Amino acid sequence: MTTGRNSDARGRRIATKGKARPAATPAAAPSQDDIGVEARVVAGVLLNAALEKRNGLDEALSQPTARALEPVDRAFARAVAMAALRRLGEIDQILDRRLQKAPPEAVRTLLRIALAQTLVLETPAFAAVSTAVKLAERDPKTRPYKNLVNAVLRGVGRDGPGLTTAESNLPDWIAARWKATYGEAALAGLALAAREEPATDLSLKPGVDPAAVAAAVEGEALPGGTVRTGRRGDVAHWPGFEDGDWWVQDAAAAVPGRLLGVKAGETALDMCAAPGGKTLQLAAAGAAVVALDRSASRLKRLAQNLERTGLTAEVVAVPAEDWADDRTFDAVLLDAPCTATGTFRRNPEVLRATRPAEVAKLADVQHRLLDAAADRVKPGGRLVYCTCSLEREEGETQIIAFLRRNPAFRTVPADPAALGAPEESLTPEGWLRILPSMWAERGGVDGFFAARLERIT
């Protein structure tokens, strides 16, 4: 990918922008023949695992092959795999122009990994090409293709990648859905957002100065109080972590908690709490919080963050719809299980792992959870429903149907400016539809739908 400036999503040369990149590039200064090779093997394993199933990349990272790498090599392998996922359509466009017939999948993986290094992460071409050829040579399945690997990669290095389209990185069925729902211009913006590595966002405890945290982590304070930083590496080593001043949470993910508007002394229920960012928000506001989630293992992270930040909540490992307790609450937050297509900036694999049938399947789960949430709201209390999906069936359609079958509830219009949400995210109904292409000048946000409802009887 050349170093040209971004243009539109339809046709252009792949280009890198001035975004923060992972610091680890172990191939830049090899000290022995095979240094960096194993990291590239793992990068290919991670890429294929992500393409095979949801959460495949994280599962592969926990396997012995990846864990055996030095931390810097493991970080490099993950960075390469993520770069390949974000630009997979464009990389395949480049390869298809140079391959007369489809090679074995193992060979395509080698080529994808090499091009992700040179064209996205700007790894020196000699390192990426030489290690790709080494990898081809040492595996009997790919050895007959080592000359092809060498020729293709050197050809791209010599002639350049040529024109590619950002929309090619989106699966066809998803691109068609988003075009029909949001329009062609919005689709172009979403496609460009899908190419970029996002920054890290921090939510702060009350009383912690956003400007001071921003200065400490070399970031900036966003509307609503979130601090955004391009800093990379283990957040446990960042200033303020051990003091419990903040937790990692995308700026858009922090909006539903603010929308609920809990006050000190109120009772609040977080129905699908893990990994826990919204529970921390509610507890930090002074509410007495009950946090439910079906996954005990995922709740461990919430428990750790509660201890680190000095906040308290009652944490219960149980499916929300099966919780036998008969308490009702002033405020209920339902961040429902969903396809998570709005998180593609951080989790590019969701676009490859999601299937059309999952949208309808999860919509049925959301329907049931919404009705269970309604039963937990006190008269005069409020309910916030949200999902990190861009699919209307998991957002707007759910609330339309809920209000039809629950006349005891009404919409409370949101105020984006007061919530730290993009102004353009407000819908005519008073709900919020945040797209990852919004706040592009600030680096974008995760995609979210959120609606606040009030129980009037």
Q: Are 377 and 78 in contact (CB under 8 A)?
A: no
Question: Alpha-carbon distance 170 to 387, whole Å?
Answer: 20
Strand order in the sheet with 227-229: 219-221, 227-229, 200-204, 246-248
Question: Alpha-carbon distance 312 to 282, whole Å?
Answer: 10
272 is catalytic: no
Q: Are 246 and 219 in contact (CB under 8 A)?
A: no
Question: Alpha-carbon distance 277 to 202, whole Å?
Answer: 10
Helix or strand holding residue 80 (H, E): helix 71-86
Here the tokens at position 19 are 């975004």
CB burial of 31-67 (b: ≥16 within 10 Å; e: otherwise) equals eeeeebbbbbbbbbbbbbbbbeebebbeebbeeeebe
Nearest to 1 by CA among 68, 85, 87: 87
Q: Are 191 and 167 in contact (CB under 8 A)?
A: yes
Catalytic residues: 388
